[in-house]
Amino acid sequence: MIAVIAWKEFRSLFASPLAWVILAIMQVILAWVFLYQLSGYMDNLPRIQQLANPPGITEIVSSAVFGFAAILLLMAVPLLTMRLFSEERRNQTLTLLLSAPISNLEIVLGKFVGLMLFLALALGLVLLMSASLALGGPIDWGLIGANSLGLLLLLGAFAALGLFISSLTQHAVIAAFASFGALLLLWILNGMTQDPNHPLVYLSLMKHFEGFNRGLIDTADVAYLLLFAATFLILTMRQLDAKRLQG
């Protein structure tokens, strides 16, 4: 049943122009960032080669593209999650869904997986852009892999939080603004203090993505992003439980 709901949500995303617009805008912006970074690398190549430990093209170009993609998707994910439960509540179809012989776990995971399939497609486009550097010479596949894993985990955290907020209201616009505000706050928490060991820094989503962006896979960062997503998925199930009890 999870697969059925996921496939339905994935197809419904492409039934409206929103998904196409988001993908198109992302590709235009990221293509510009990619070409800008690549041009800067080629222009400064003689000076870069004189450094004792010169950064490679993957570090300069791909890391920048993945970092910018994370920012773009932070803004895009709330637009994608806002309708997942809000429209169901507004159209009175959520009651029918909850009365069906399927569990809240299947409903939440189905919608989450459907959204992640779309986000994986967006991630795949970023990955292909970085992989195209291999046409010009050797690249650091480990750095690209770390960035891909980090961005996938980060998108899972974005999606889980957006899904939870969408379950709280029947107004999609409110869900979008609330999700964006919450994600933005969690993104910039590390800039609110100068102490690198402050708890706010540890809660920041940016803090846990920075390591991946540098090519480092830290189990603490992986665990934090997974637990973050799992927490909000569980909270979403609890919200559906409360809705079921209300009838």
Which of 170, 180, 22 is closest to 83 using CA atoms? 170
User: What's the pLDDT band for 59 if we cut at 50, 70, 90?
Assistant: confident
Rounded Cα distance, 228 and 156, in Å: 9
CB atoms within 10 A of CB 93: 11
The pLDDT score that the predictor gives to residue 73 is 92
Q: What is the pLDDT of residue 68?
A: 92
Answering whether pTM is above 0.75, one says yes
pLDDT for 161: 95
More confident residue, 200 or 223: 223
pLDDT of residue 246: 66
Half-sphere exposure of 195 (CA within 13 A, CB side): 5
Domain ranges of the chain: 2-246
